[in-house]
Structure 1
Amino acid sequence: MSTAQPVGWRKSSRSAQVTDCVEVGRFGDGAAVRDSKNRAAGYFAVSGDQWRSFVAGVRAGRFDS
């Protein structure tokens, strides 16, 4: 089991003053995601390929309602 921790946590600039947000941190070659309101609850991590695929989907509008 790795003891590495995510670093460089940041919240989207689009979230402005809204409190219902997630934060993203670097984790190895991938990313970690956590709830900005409840950081103590932990995070989930994805590989670099998974993160790049997700970001490409967001940019392509695949998750728009």
Structure 2
Amino acid sequence: CGLRSVSVGVGALGLGYPSPETVVFRYCGGACPAPPTLHGLALGAVLGPEGAGGGPCCRP
């Protein structure tokens, strides 16, 4: 888990503003180990291994 950043052109945001400017988005992401929960086990059984991840949100 760690702080990540990505530069995106303003025009690529789809907001209708044609601009050569870029903005930097910073976010926390990555794997966060957590003990298994009953909800996560049930979700994994229903959705299978390719289902939605039931892991916690990682924050600095």
The verdict on a shared fold, with TM-score over 0.5 as the criterion, is no
Q: Computing the radius of gyration over CA atoms, which structure comes out larger, 1 or 2?
A: 2
Normalized per residue, the structure richer in helix is 1
Q: Which is bigger in relative contact order (C-alpha 8 A, separation at least 6)? A: 2
What's the TM-score, normalizing by structure 1?
Answer: 0.22
